């Protein structure tokens, strides 16, 4: 656009911009722009996470290999650590405190070892999950990927470690008279449900640990208290005999106790259904689905805040 000035010259004026008067939000919507690092929708987030499944598996395997790379016995510590813990607990609770009352030695030893291995699976998932974001800030800040990939990969790492350790658990069970049977097939759904539960917990503590790194120092005390109230070293039914029925049921439906009891029921011949609370499979499914779904949504809601500040 042009017009003639009073001295005969020509002045050029720019045509009004078609975007004039639009707000930043309107401009972004018009040209399909999005805020860098903005949280995607839940469905899109799941799709992105599934697209990183190969990274999640490779990352978990790398972490598992590196975990004991400096130790001379290497990967054998995956089995030796929970086995040594079981030995210590047997000496204290089985020999000194007689926590095995009501169970023969052939039942109590695999009972104890199973409890230690299964609880360690949850304990390790939580401990690695609480540092999943705060302990990997360099990776979080350098690369764009769904942050849930980190706690999920750490839970997968612990599952792989437990599967390796299960060889020893089978040997212990067979050594004390519990031979392979159809009930051993129940191990698969038990581990699947516990893995979902552990992953949900890892996602919850990962978000909490990202905001409050000191939570990693407090978590061992919380987990130790949980262990002592979950029947790792003793039968809840026996130790709570004569106590309030409500108190017994509350301890029995504790998720750690549920998964341990289901694994014991699957592996140990002398550990019958009478040791399980009513509707045990429904309770296990409830814990797995609710904690995983709730933990996933809880973690996703803070997606854009991880690695900032």
The DSSP annotation for 194-240 comes to: HHHHHHHHHHHHHHHHHH-TTHHHHHHHHHHHHHHTTTSSS-HHHHT
d(CA 5, CA 259): 88
Write the DSSP symbol of residue 135: G
Whether the Cβ atoms of residue 226 and residue 205 lie closer than 8 Å to each other: no
Position 32 scores a pLDDT of: 56
Position 8 scores a pLDDT of: 57
Helix/strand/coil for 2 = strand
Position 308 scores a pLDDT of: 74
CA atoms within 13 A on the CB side of 180: 4
Query: How far, in Å, are 10, 19, 40, 64 from residue 56 at the CA level?
Result: 66, 44, 19, 12
Which domain does 94 fall in, by range?
70-303
Element (H, E) at 104: none
Look at the alpha carbons of 20, 22, 23, 27 in this order and tell me if their dihedral is positive or negative.
negative
Domains identified in the chain, total number? 1
Residue 26 domain-assigned (yes or no)? no
Cβ atoms within 10 Å of 93's Cβ, excluding its own: 17
What is the 3-state secondary structure of 21-90? CCCHHHHHHHHCCCCCCCCCCHHHHHHHHHHCHHHHHHHHHHHHHHHCCCCCCHHHHHHHHHHHHHHHHH
d(CA 109, CA 228): 17
Look at the alpha carbons of 171, 172, 173, 174 in this order and tell me if their dihedral is positive or negative.
positive
- Angle between helix axes 255-267 and 105-130 (nearest 10 degrees) is 140
Residue 21 domain-assigned (yes or no)? no
Position 29 scores a pLDDT of: 61
Element (H, E) at 8: none
Residue 309 domain-assigned (yes or no)? no
Residue 164 domain-assigned (yes or no)? yes
Alpha carbon 263 to chain centroid distance? 18
d(CA 151, CA 126): 9
Task: Find the length of the chain.
Answer: 309
134 closest CA partner among 49, 38, 211: 211
Residue 49 domain-assigned (yes or no)? no
Residue 86 domain-assigned (yes or no)? yes
Q: For the chain, 309 residues long, give each residue's pLDDT as a single digit of tens.
A: 545 555 555 555 555 666 666 665 565 566 555 555 578 999 999 999 999 999 999 999 888 877 766 655 666 776 777 778 788 888 887 778 777 777 888 889 899 999 999 999 999 999 999 999 999 988 888 888 999 999 999 999 999 989 888 888 898 899 999 999 999 999 999 999 999 999 999 999 999 999 888 899 999 999 999 999 998 888 888 888 878 888 888 999 999 999 999 999 999 998 888 889 999 999 999 999 999 999 999 999 999 989 875
Residue 6 domain-assigned (yes or no)? no
d(CA 163, CA 117): 10
């Amino acid at each position: 656009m042009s017009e003639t000035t009073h001295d005969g010259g020509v002045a050029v004026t720019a045509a009004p911009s078609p975007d004039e008067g639009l707000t930043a939000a309107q401009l972004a919507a018009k040209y399909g722009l999005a805020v860098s690092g903005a949280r995607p929708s839940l469905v899109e987030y799941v799709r992105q996470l599934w697209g990183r499944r190969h990274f999640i598996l490779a990352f978990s395997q790398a972490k598992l290999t590196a975990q004991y790379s400096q130790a001379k016995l290497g990967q054998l510590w995956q089995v030796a650590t929970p086995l040594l813990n079981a030995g210590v607990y047997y000496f204290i609770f089985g020999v000194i405190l007689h926590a095995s009352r009501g169970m023969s030695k052939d039942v109590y030893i695999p009972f104890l070892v199973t409890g230690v291995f299964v609880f360690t699976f949850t304990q390790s998932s939580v401990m690695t999950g609480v540092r999943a974001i705060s302990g990997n800030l360099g990776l979080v800040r350098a690369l764009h990927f769904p942050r849930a990939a980190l706690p999920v990969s750490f839970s997968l790492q612990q599952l792989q470690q437990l599967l390796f350790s299960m060889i020893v658990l089978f040997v212990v069970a067979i050594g004390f008279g519990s031979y392979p049977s159809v009930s051993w097939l129940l191990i698969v759904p038990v581990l699947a449900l516990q893995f979902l539960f552990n992953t949900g917990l890892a996602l919850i503590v990962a978000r909490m640990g990202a905001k409050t790194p000191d939570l990693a120092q407090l978590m061992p005390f919380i987990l130790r208290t949980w262990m002592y109230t979950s029947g790792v070293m003793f039968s809840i039914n026996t130790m709570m005999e004569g106590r309030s029925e409500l108190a017994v049921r509350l301890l029995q439906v504790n998720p750690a106790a549920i998964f341990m009891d289901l694994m014991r029921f699957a592996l140990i011949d002398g550990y019958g259904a009478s040791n399980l609370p009513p509707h045990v499979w429904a309770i296990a499914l409830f814990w797995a689905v609710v904690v995983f779904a709730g933990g996933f949504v809880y973690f996703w809601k803070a997606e854009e805040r991880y690695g900032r500040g």
